[in-house]
Amino acid sequence: MNFEDCAKKIRKVACQVDVKSCITYVDDEKVIISGEFNLHKLLKTLKKKTGKKIEVVMKTEKLVEDDEPETETPEVVQNQDNKDEIVPQNDDKLETSMMEVEFDIPLLYEEYEKYFEKVISKFEGVETYGTDVENKKIVVIGNFDKDRLLKKLDKKSARLNRKIQQAEKEAEEHKIIEEFCENLDKEAEERKIMAEFCEEIDNGRSIYLT
């Protein structure tokens, strides 16, 4: 974000995904969003409607366990920067943080993004995730077996890599066939020109002899 207009647009888009609050910091180029929302859907929407590169810097999710859960409105105060800040209530309740894992995926291109998203979205314990195609990373959040998920992603990468290599091999073979056909056409054209030239010579000789 370079200007306040950018920040206003981001806040407007974020509110369309039913977030509780959205605080923008233009100088730091950061946005703090709170509420119950789908992180993956929010990232997709922001990227599509703002056209800006977006990276998840920090994700904190807290689950409150209570025999008789009560819904309380969080207190909204102003911090020293005159920004609205939400203060959670019932700090004495048990809080459990979700695990956040970052996976490096070299084959994370836009055309292959859906293959990895399919693996992650169906994996047990995954709450949400965010993809960063530019840096070839996927951030996954939830209570899941990270080693098992890593093996699945590696297996998907290996399978995808084999398909890419096979496609490149077929493309190379197709290119060789095209070049061979072009050479045949070129040779046929040269033979045709040579035949026409010889025919002209023969016609010239006939005229001279006559």
Distances (CA, A) of 8 to 24, 26, 124: 8, 10, 37
Cα 188 to the chain's mean position, in Å?
A: 49
Q: Tell me the pLDDT tens digit for each residue of 113-138.
A: 888 988 998 898 888 888 888 888 88
Could you give the CA distance from residue 1 to residue 117 in angstroms, rounded to a whole number?
Answer: 28
Any idea which residue has 């995954």 for tokens? 126
Are 160 and 107 spatial neighbours (Cβ–Cβ below 8 Å)? yes
- Residue 150 has a pLDDT of 92
Scored b (16 or more CB within 10 A) or e, 45-59 reads ebeeebeeebebeeb
List, for residues 137-157, the tens digit of each pLDDT value.
Answer: 888 888 888 899 999 999 999
42-71 residue pLDDT tens: 888 888 878 887 777 766 655 444 444 444
Alpha carbon separation from 162 to 132, 139, 165 (Å, rounded) = 23, 25, 5
Which whole number is the average pLDDT over 8-21? 78
Q: What is the pLDDT of residue 207?
A: 55
What number of CA atoms fall less than 13 Å from residue 138's CA on the CB side? 27
Report whether pLDDT(176) > 50: yes
Are β-strands 94-97 and 99-104 bridged in parallel, bridged antiparallel, or unpaired? unpaired
